[in-house]
Amino acid sequence: MTSVLKNCIIVLVIIIFIIIVERGLCCVTKNADIKSLAKSKGVYLYEVAKKLGIRDTKLSVLLREELSDKEKQTLTDIINAVAFEKEQERNTIME
């Protein structure tokens, strides 16, 4: 194999690695479903923490470990409620 071909392969592997890392495909993020839901609904985690009556830093610590199904359901309900409230506020402003 020529050195040019070897260099091309190395560059290709590096590019693939960068893409994988940037898209978060190389590791499993704990509670990714909760974080993804909040992001997709335009809800910040500090808003969820406020509804729970805890600091946002405490919520971040809790999300470092996989939550139980019951805990995830509670957070899902809160995220949906906050998203609904924000939508209602936007609609009120538009009127």
CB-based contact 43:83 (threshold 8 Å): yes
Q: Domain residue spans in the chain? A: 1-27, 31-94
**Per-residue pLDDT at 27:** 62
**Per-residue pLDDT at 25:** 63
* Phi, psi for residue 80 in degrees, rounded to 5: -65, -40
Cα four-point dihedral sign 83, 89, 93, 95: positive
* 40, two tokens: 């997709």
Which residues, in sequence order, are CB contacts of 38 under 8 Å at separation 6+? 44, 45, 48, 79
Reported confidence tier of residue 24, pLDDT bands at 50, 70, 90: low
Reported confidence tier of residue 16, pLDDT bands at 50, 70, 90: confident
Reported confidence tier of residue 26, pLDDT bands at 50, 70, 90: low
Q: What is the pLDDT of residues 38-95, one digit of tens each?
A: 999 999 999 999 999 999 999 999 999 999 999 999 999 999 999 999 999 888 887 6
Please give the model's pTM, rounded to 2 decimal places: 0.69
Which residues, in sequence order, are CB contacts of 48 under 8 Å at separation 6+? 38, 59, 75, 78, 79, 82
